[in-house]
Structure 1
Amino acid sequence: MQSNRTVSVVIPAKNEAPSLAGVLARIRNLPMVSEVVVVDDGSTDATAEVSIAGGASVTRNPYSLGNGGAIKAGARAATGDILVFMDADGQHQPEDIPKLLEKMDEGYDMVVGARTSANSQAGLHRAAANGFYNRFASWMVGQPILDLTSGFRAVRANKFRRFLFLLPNGFSYPTTITMSFFRSGLPVAYLPVEVKKRIGRSHVRIVRDGIRFLLIIFKIGTLFSPMKLFLPVSLGFFGTGIAYYVYTYLTQHRFTNMSALLLITSVLVFLIGLVSEQIAALNFKGTDGDDHL
């Protein structure tokens, strides 16, 4: 493990006082950690006080900005070369941090602590949803993604901060940053980790956040690989138009307006996808520098 780098642990926290003391005490036992930054995201309990007592520096949001907003605030405040993001609820094990850092030494810019079906504490519905997200994202980037939504990860700070402008303020920051790294050709690794049952209540709401994640899927498609969404739709319209033309030609011996509409729509969808692909490329202009730690 490299000895000349500094490691900052960033913990977003909203009303997590009951679990924070134990988490911070375990982090203090890790000699490679240079600092711990707790982002108090509009808490109404003693989150800030417990964090200070536990030796962490505290960044306070005057009101809740969301998990992604807290992550961005922590990334700006942290001073380490490596940023380790983890939850404050006791699910992520501080003892896994050295494993993430050792994996980074193999040449990766981001290492994600991946939950597996054997150790995940998510319910059946969330496990199924996460599996769908993983498969969809893997298809989009052409690389296997084992855990798209894991909030436990280690990243190189200079690489991570390039994408702050893309990150949403809600719960979908892991999705966006993972896709951003893959889109920019930055190496990402997954490391299976043990996940415990959280302490306290979850801030995720099934219906509300489920709808948000559904929207995220479409946003991911149009932001990172538009043609992988637009091309199948275009081919679908084209195939339907050809099939309908064959049908009307055989039964009525003519080319109908509906066939023309379907074929024209296929061309328009393809052209929109082509333009979207160019816009997506512009989003990542300037994020492909060659600096390394």
Structure 2
Amino acid sequence: MNNVSVVIPAKNEAEGLATVLPKLTSISDCWQLIVVDDGSTDNTRDVCLEHGVQVVSHSYSKGNGAAVKAGARKATGDIIVFMDGDGQHDPNDIPKLLNILHSQNQDMVVGARDSESQANVGRDVGNRLYNQLATYMTGHKVWDLTSGFRVVRANKFKEFLYLLPNGFSYPTTSTMAFFRAGYSVAYMPIKAAKRKGKSHLRLHKDGVRFLIIIFKIGTLYSPLKIFLPLSVSIFVTGFSYYMYTFSTAGRFTNMSALLFTTSLMIFLMGLISEQITTLVYKKNG
């Protein structure tokens, strides 16, 4: 399996990498190991050099997604493994993920975390919500939409580099892009350990980011599946209000007109978004 590249985005992950890198080299010394140092202020780079790992350094922090893209561009393997450098992902799971990729002829295999592997109850509830929404959007069971531990076929993953954000939602974007392009996605249950060091996620900031992810799920796959139910619900509300005012006052009110107009505008926005999404993925169709 010397055609495998392992990409690890890292920002101040010296403690975790000191544990992860020796395990990776013990599994296979012929893999290409790439750590993208995303503007670390600790000795992340030194730890990588001590273990003979290829380092891509950012002079300042560009974001987790930007680090993933930089690593993917440097990867020379036909298969790319993405994992965190904080010690949560077990390198011993990589051969299992690769086995599923090859034996089942998959294009992406994601390490799906269970509830016990989530950082807290709030994160678990949020991920369940994303998984259910993604399942509805794609028509396929999505076990873990936001897991950063995955193996992909490099040529197919690189098709979507231009879509990936520089922030933390690259797993969501890449998964939905694969589904939308008709590529195969599989899941393997994993146990994620407690991370080493401090998390870079912040509740007040990332709560808004997670809300944006929900809308991104829709726009990346089929916007009309989000806009149409919303349009219909507003139309039904407007029609119900019209029937009430007509039966009680015998007239058509401005509120009913506003609701009908809003319903139509939302539907048209969804229709236009659907066409844009189709054009974005046309070259992969």
Question: What TM-score comes out, normalization by structure 2 length?
Answer: 0.95
Number of paired residues? 284
From 177, 186, 205, give the equivalent of 1:208. 205
After superposition, the C-alpha distances for 1:193-244 in whole angstroms (9 at most, x for unaligned) are 1111111111111121121111121233233221111111210121112112
Counting aligned pairs with the same residue, the percent is 59
Q: Residue in 2 aligned with 1:259?
A: 256
Matches within 5 A, 1:64-103: 64-103=61-100
Q: Residue in 2 aligned with 1:111?
A: 109
After superposition, the C-alpha distances for 1:130-180 in whole angstroms (9 at most, x for unaligned) are 111111121121211111111000000000001001101111110110111
- Rounded to whole Å, the distance in 2 between the matches of 1:227 and 1:154 is 30
Q: Residue in 1 aligned with 2:153?
A: 156
- 1:226 has 2:223 as partner: yes
The answer to whether the 8 Å contact 1:90/1:197 transfers is yes
Please state whether the residue corresponding to 2:282 is helix, strand or coil. coil
C-alpha spacing 1:32/1:179, structure 2 compared with 1 (3 Å)? farther
The answer to whether the 8 Å contact 1:121/1:196 transfers is no
From 182, 194, 197, give the equivalent of 2:194. 197
- Rounded to whole Å, the distance in 2 between the matches of 1:9 and 1:141 is 28
The answer to whether the 8 Å contact 2:9/2:67 transfers is yes
Q: Residue in 2 aligned with 1:291?
A: none
Q: Residue in 2 aligned with 1:274?
A: 271
Amino acid at match of 2:91: P
Amino acid at match of 2:165: P
After superposition, the C-alpha distances for 1:24-83 in whole angstroms (9 at most, x for unaligned) are 111112238521000011011111111111121011111111110100000001111000
- Rounded to whole Å, the distance in 1 between the matches of 2:40 and 2:240 is 59
The answer to whether the 8 Å contact 2:143/2:187 transfers is yes
Tell me how large the CA RMSD over aligned residues is. Answer: 1.4
Amino acid at match of 1:58: V
Q: Residue in 2 aligned with 1:53?
A: 50
Amino acid at match of 2:122: H
- Rounded to whole Å, the distance in 1 between the matches of 2:220 and 2:111 is 25
Could you tell which deviates more after superposition, 146-155 or 232-241?
A: 232-241
Matches within 5 A, 1:157-196: 157-196=154-193
Question: Mind listing any 5+ residue stretches in structure 1 that lack a counterpart?
Answer: 289-293
The answer to whether the 8 Å contact 1:51/1:57 transfers is yes
Amino acid at match of 2:170: Y
Question: Mind listing any 5+ residue stretches in structure 2 that lack a counterpart?
Answer: none
Could you tell which deviates more after superposition, 33-42 or 150-159?
A: 33-42
- Rounded to whole Å, the distance in 2 between the matches of 1:32 and 1:159 is 25
- Rounded to whole Å, the distance in 2 between the matches of 1:113 and 1:185 is 20
From 121, 125, 136, give the equivalent of 2:122. 125
Amino acid at match of 1:138: T
- Rounded to whole Å, the distance in 1 between the matches of 2:121 and 2:65 is 25
Amino acid at match of 1:101: L
- Rounded to whole Å, the distance in 1 between the matches of 2:117 and 2:163 is 28
C-alpha spacing 1:232/1:32, structure 2 compared with 1 (3 Å)? farther
CA shift, 1:256, in A, is 2.8
Q: Residue in 1 aligned with 2:25?
A: 28
Please state whether the residue corresponding to 2:77 is helix, strand or coil. coil
Amino acid at match of 1:206: L
- Rounded to whole Å, the distance in 1 between the matches of 2:237 and 2:30 is 59
Amino acid at match of 1:228: K
